[in-house]
Amino acid sequence: MVRWQAFCLLFCLHYLSFNLIIMRLKDCGFGCNINGVNIGCIMYADDIILLSATVDGLQKMCNVCYTAASELKLIFNCTKTACILFGPTYRVQISDMSLGMSSTAVEVSK
């Protein structure tokens, strides 16, 4: 019974922490607008995909995630973080994408 209660508690804490990140992303107003619906992130388990029409918007979304995670004492793993470009401007050179205030650069794939 104790294991089940611990699992439920961890699940609730996980949900609340990622809900805070999602709400902060929603409030910042960046993301992709599809038929009037703002889709800024997709989440599965502990993974998050940020969607943005502009590089500047994506960087601001990264900063929002970093700030919210810092408040929750969570750390993003920069070695598992990547930026993927596609569409008409996929040849744009991005060299200064970073996750929050850290100096760790985000890998850019095309």
Count Cβ atoms below 10 Å from residue 49 Cβ, excluding itself: 11
pLDDT recorded at residue 30: 87
Distances (CA, A) of 18 to 30, 39, 79, 95: 17, 16, 20, 28
What band does 68 get if pLDDT is binned at 50, 70 and 90? confident
Q: Which amino acid is at 28?
A: C
pLDDT, average across residues 84-101: 64
58 vs 8: CA distance, rounded Å:
33
Residue 95 pLDDT greater than 70, yes or no: no
27 or 7, greater pLDDT: 27
Q: Are strands 41-44 and 47-50 parallel, antiparallel or unpaired?
A: antiparallel
- Domain holding 82, by residue range, is 2-109
Residue 65 pLDDT greater than 80, yes or no: yes
**What is the phi/psi pair of residue 14, to 5°?**
-60, -45
- Decide: pTM greater than 0.85: no
